[in-house]
Amino acid sequence: MRNVAGQVSIVATGAPGHRRGLTASAVCSLTDEPPTLLVCINRNAAAHDLIIAHRAFSVNALAAGQEAIAHVFSGMAGITGEQRFATGTWSVGATGVPVLAAAVCQLECRLDDYKEASSHTVFFGHVVAGTASTEASALIYHRGSYIGLGEPCDENADVEPPRAASGTSGK
C-alpha cells in the first residue's frame, strides 16, 4: 500500500466548537453527473460518527506546503478534536461544515449513503458547494513522505508511442 501514491486531503465535519477532522488519502471522485465522491474513514476516527450525525462533510485537498496541517490532522502531533482546527485557516462553508483556506479545492458534500467495509466505512458524498485554486500544486503522500507535486509535464514530451525497431516484426 505504501507504494500507492495518493493526494492528501482533510475530511472535516461538525459545527464550530465541535468540529472533527482527519487526514485522508482514501478519497476518490466517483461521478461527474451528479457530482459525487467517496471517502473511506476508519470507524474509530473521531469524525466518523459525526459525519453520519451531521449528514455532511468537506474534502479539502491540501496544497504543497500544507504538510503541517496533514501532520496535525493525522494525529501524529498528539493534537485531537477541535484543537486541530487551530492549524490552518478554517471557516464555515455553505453547508455548515469546516472548509480550509488555500487548499487546492474545498468540496462540501451532503452525505448520500454509506457502506461498512471491514474496519472502514465508505461515505458517498454529493458535492453541493466548492471552490478550487488553479494555481496551487497538490500534496501527495508516497512511501511515508509528503511530496509537493511539481510542474505539469511538458505536453509534448514522451507522448510518442514506442515504435518497433526496424527489421523486427514482433512475430
Which positions lie near ligand FMN, rule CB under 6 A? 8, 22-26, 40-42, 45-46, 74-75, 80, 141
Q: Select the residue whose beta carbon is closest to ligand FMN and give its number.
A: 75
Q: Quick one: 53 or 94, whose CB is closer to ligand FMN? A: 53
Distance CA 54, CA 125 (A): 12
DSSP H helix total and E strand total for the chain: 2, 12
* Least Å from the CB of residue 118 to ligand FMN: 12
* Least Å from the CB of residue 116 to ligand FMN: 13
* Least Å from the CB of residue 71 to ligand FMN: 8
Residue type present at position 90? W
| Three cell numbers written together for 29 | 471522485
Structural Rg of the chain based on CA atoms: 19
* Least Å from the CB of residue 158 to ligand FMN: 29
> DSSP of 90-129, one letter per residue?
EEE-TTSSEEETT-SEEEEEEEEEEEEETTEEEEEEEEEE
* Least Å from the CB of residue 97 to ligand FMN: 15
Q: Quick one: 40 or 129, whose CB is closer to ligand FMN? A: 40
Distance CA 57, CA 60 (A): 10
Q: Quick one: 111 or 158, whose CB is closer to ligand FMN? A: 111
Q: Quick one: 26 or 129, whose CB is closer to ligand FMN? A: 26
Place of cell 508516497: 142
Q: Quick one: 74 or 137, whose CB is closer to ligand FMN? A: 74
Distance CA 141, CA 133 (A): 20
